Amino acid sequence: MSHFLAVDLGAESGRAMLGRLEQNRLELEELHRFPNQPVRLPDGLYWDALRLFHEIREGLRVAGRERKLHLDGIGVDTWGVDFGIVDAGGRLVDAPRHYRDARNNGMLERTFEAAPRERIFELTGLQFMQFNSLYQLYAAKLEGTAGLRTEGAQLLFMPDLLNYWLSGARKNELTIASTSQFYNPATKQWAFELFETLGLPAGLLGEIVQPGAKLGTLLDEVADTSGLDGVPVFATAGHDTAAAVAAAPATGERPWCYISSGTWSLMGLELAEPLIHRGVLKANFTNEAGAAGRIRFLKNIAGLWLVQECRRAWMLETREYSYAQLTGMAAQAPAFQAVLDPDAFLEPGHMPERIADYCRRTGQTAPEQPGTMVRVILESLALRYRQVLELLDELGGQRVEVIHIMGGGSKNTLLNQFVADATGRTVIAGPTEATAAGNVLVQAMGAGAVRDLEEARAVVRASFPLETFEPGKREGWDAAYERYLATAARGRSRLP
């Protein structure tokens, strides 16, 4: 039996997950869970990277000191784009900003003044979002951030930074690097031309390593306090979506796409080569690296973030609901009261009021009750998925027959059925712990315990329950889709 520890950090919380791999079956156990709470300082919104590393060490301590486990590997995955900068001596000189930091506002337009939008896409194949690392880094340059002028400075994305603190290895893992918008998926190297055009120091960019590469072993001090001596640290699929897609239970017998469903919904295809042409640019899709040399051709969608923010707002009013309660109330609420564009709500704060105002501004009845509000969000997500799916059919050159919904959002059976009904396609939900499973299995591939990606996916199918949703009651969905397209087009015309 092999034991791997997956450190999985999300926008709301982090976990240290133990993966037991034996006879092509994987079991996952949560050893330690902790909140991930950003910190607002006078100059902006930051991730509490030091606290996160402290909690990771606590997870290691539970594994080593409490459970007396022997680990065959440790790997860290996180969300994309965010980074810290260390100096030549490894000291953190620029702490990781939160991708929702207001410093990013307007940076797309500022960057396009120096580097044409079309050229950026030609070099990176990435969709344009104001929080991509390229725009964060350019914002740092414009405000004169000292870290960019520090001799020997190196940029480390979130999993890279945490891997460095664990192992002492300063490397950039491929899948997380590919979220930056300064990695070229066609040439498989950094897009140095962009750094030259924007006047950014190319010395920030380090060696790119493949998912599954062994970085080293736990540093002595970390090993001593955790009771884990000589444990390898692997650069797993460092981007959480790349880890989740590695655990997609697809067989390849029918054309398929994936939705990694959580705070964000990442919806796309797995391809052998990137798709970079004018049609992709117009549709604003992205080409990110995946495990085993695959390309994740996808679009970011706001996801269950809207429900999370509504729930947070209601809690501040002392109206506390579990996610299960909110979904139950949504199931009983009237259908198609309003439709909205999920991507119009990317910033935090006052979500119920903003949704209600959006509905009124677009000539719709504003939802007043929590159940109706959540139903409007879930229906609108399903309609957005349908829109993206039609683009995937067109750009990918074949009709997708199966939608694999993975991650924590796959537990929302109401949304799963809405997706099947809205799209007219088969939905297979699960595994819910796709990211942790993918993290473990990519480590296992690096350690030689799993042969390849196909075997990893066979392990997933044998290990986790999956639920199938077929299109059922489709009445009203086509009319709602036409309303959605008309409503969303008005707002999206202002997006890049």
Per the annotation, the verdict on 393 as an active-site residue is no
Task: Give strand pairing partners of 25.
Answer: 22
- Please give the pLDDT value at position 118: 96
- Please give the pLDDT value at position 286: 95
Element holding 14 (H helix, E strand): strand 13-22
- The span from the CA of 481 to the CA of 389, in Å, is 13
Buried b (16+ CB within 10 A) or exposed e, 324-361: eebbebbeebeebbbbbbbbbbbeeeebbebbbebbee
Per-residue pLDDT tens over the stretch 162-205: 999 999 999 999 999 999 999 999 999 999 999 999 999 999 99
Tokens of 378: 């879930």
CATH number of 250-430+466-496: 3.30.420.40
- The span from the CA of 448 to the CA of 451, in Å, is 6
pLDDT string in tens for the chain (496-residue length): 999 999 999 988 999 999 999 999 999 999 999 999 999 999 999 999 999 999 999 999 999 999 999 999 999 999 999 999 999 999 999 999 999 999 999 999 999 999 999 999 999 999 999 999 999 999 999 999 988 989 999 999 999 999 999 999 999 999 999 999 999 999 999 999 999 999 999 999 999 999 999 999 999 999 999 999 999 999 999 999 999 999 999 998 999 999 999 888 999 999 999 999 999 999 999 999 999 999 999 999 999 999 999 999 999 998 999 999 999 999 999 999 999 999 999 888 999 999 999 999 999 999 999 999 999 999 999 999 999 999 999 999 999 999 999 999 999 999 999 999 999 999 999 999 999 999 999 999 999 999 999 999 999 999 999 999 999 988 899 999 999 999 988 755 433 3
Q: Quick one: DSSP state of residue 245? A: H
- Please give the pLDDT value at position 491: 54
Per-residue pLDDT tens over the stretch 297-309: 999 999 999 999 9
Q: How many CB atoms lie within 10 A of CB 493?
A: 7
- The span from the CA of 469 to the CA of 486, in Å, is 28
- The span from the CA of 270 to the CA of 422, in Å, is 22
Strand 232-235 versus strand 73-77 pairing type = parallel
- The span from the CA of 131 to the CA of 82, in Å, is 8
CATH fourth-level superfamily of 2-238: ATPase, nucleotide binding domain (3.30.420.40)
Closest Cα partner for 212 from 182, 167, 173?
173
Domain ranges of the chain: 2-238, 250-430+466-496
Residue at 89: amino acid letter: G
- Please give the pLDDT value at position 492: 53
Closest Cα partner for 442 from 293, 314, 334?
293
- pTM here is 0.91
Give the start-end residues of each E strand in 39-127: 39-41, 44-46, 73-77, 83-86, 92-94
User: Among the options 160, 240, 341, 421, which is catalytic?
Assistant: 240
352 in Cβ contact with 456 (< 8 Å): no
Strand 13-22 versus strand 2-9 pairing type = antiparallel
- Please give the pLDDT value at position 496: 38
Closest Cα partner for 449 from 28, 23, 69?
23
